[in-house]
Structure 1
């Protein structure tokens, strides 16, 4: 009796773990979704939804007790049999993408071959290989009778299906294997956004709790367990704002340039450096300008690539810098009346480089504002010497400076 109780408890725990994997995948899909997307639990599959206008159906396997994608795994062939039956009955719409997610990092030769197929001819070749392995050579198929009954129940459904129907599923099929800890994968997804690492666990717990209570509420009302990305995103933003304050700071991805980088920049004789030479800037000031100019360029690229800022925000930021420059220029003009132009330019430069201007409402690193001023100086949108516009007119062009 004790053994039976223990086995029963183990089985129950395995089922609980399996349901937990489904919840984790549900949350993971929501985190990776975009505007207008939806994610559903236990509708047309374990997890399903619409992403970028495309429907998908996902089977979720815990892999806790055995490898569910081994070549002769009942789980593997039952999955494909269910998808074929779902397509045949109309429960699974045409054009649906199919995903088999295994929480553990298992391997399966046939499953991987099926996942790698994209061309019709490749899919046909894999089907022929599978038939030969399980059924033997045509036309007698003498191996078919020796397939274990429980496995044959699903393998034979798959191999007896219309070849075109099986090919359609194969070409739409993707195998995903986890690392054995689905919530760790979700934590990595959250950490990939600009949030403080110390807050990831709190944000994850908040989102996981929200998903569970939201799904329960849908079920209790007799509604499908479907959550839109838009309602989830509202909760996600609220969680980040509650637990994380790093969303007020744009993280820098720039590193100081090497000496070789600095020397290469000097050889280019860029306009922003010529601007500094006009006011007799010291070597230290020139080197600092190169550092901030290059580091700011790196951050602009990384922020745009990672989606931290919108490209329109950079234009707005540069417009703000030009307003600051124009304002400070008027103040310096009064303060330095009668002084040498080099002194005028040095004070204007110093005043601008001390400015602290947020980008998209967020604080930037200390090198970014100075580097952005030098970027504007490089295009002659701003300048330090009072006559920079006439002294540094590009060849064949006319500087347009307010």
Structure 2
């Protein structure tokens, strides 16, 4: 038999829940496009629905599969559809025969590990993208079981990798850190969006979920108003917390504008006097990265990978502390020279460290190394047999 070329990476499958506008979804699209551009066959598998990124992938010639996972009206998983979805995942993997399955986020990690083993996929990589997320004991046990079955864990920040090591009890050689990437156009200038206000504009781009800490942001807005430093708060994003947050803003008397999901974020970044992310836990925030690329001053909570992004390049405050958040916003609004300096430093660091091509190349290098190791082990097992 001819000797197999161990350096060639031919096929990769990426598994994620859906393709909405979240950070993980954005990064999986960038990775899929980068792999495809380098001649690697890519299949993206979605547990449930598609989303705005699905058309982008299909138009690029990347194959997208839906598994059909669903929940009942009460929010509980539809067991029959989930079992069918898992069987469909195993069947897809057997047909595609990828060298690597990379599963993003919690549910995909849990399903991806056993599916990869049943389908005979040589390498299963678990994507770990949040730090400090609260977990029940039963969930922790499942995480550790899936982590034990995975060949490797990829985190998007050093702090996130440390969280994975603590949760999974994984050895250091089984963990890698690969930063998120930004498209070159993220650094392009944009015409500022017109916002009808005479007040400083504070922008927050985040899904309206409890994780993102919007309630503390609105409390900070009320504090600034009471201190005679009112601002206009522009919130881009959608989610289950919208109604209660809208009511909170109305009761507080603050100028908060909920714009829902938007694809045109750059003009709002160009208009913002301050960009804020008040998350309670986080990974490597795409919203922060995009604000850095636009050279905006940023105030954010010191959670997850955010300190790695903003150390000496932004204002970091404790999570769940509305007073500190208000102080941070006021500090930037009241000092234009500081705001400009922070924006310049953030943009320069982002340009140097958040290159999308570097992100893709690092994944390819990791995939090849893991696939080579698996081949060597199989060859060794064959000789011993």
Interval of TM-score (by shorter of Structure 1 and Structure 2): under 0.3
Query: TM-score under structure 1 normalisation?
Result: 0.27
Say which one has the larger Rg: 1
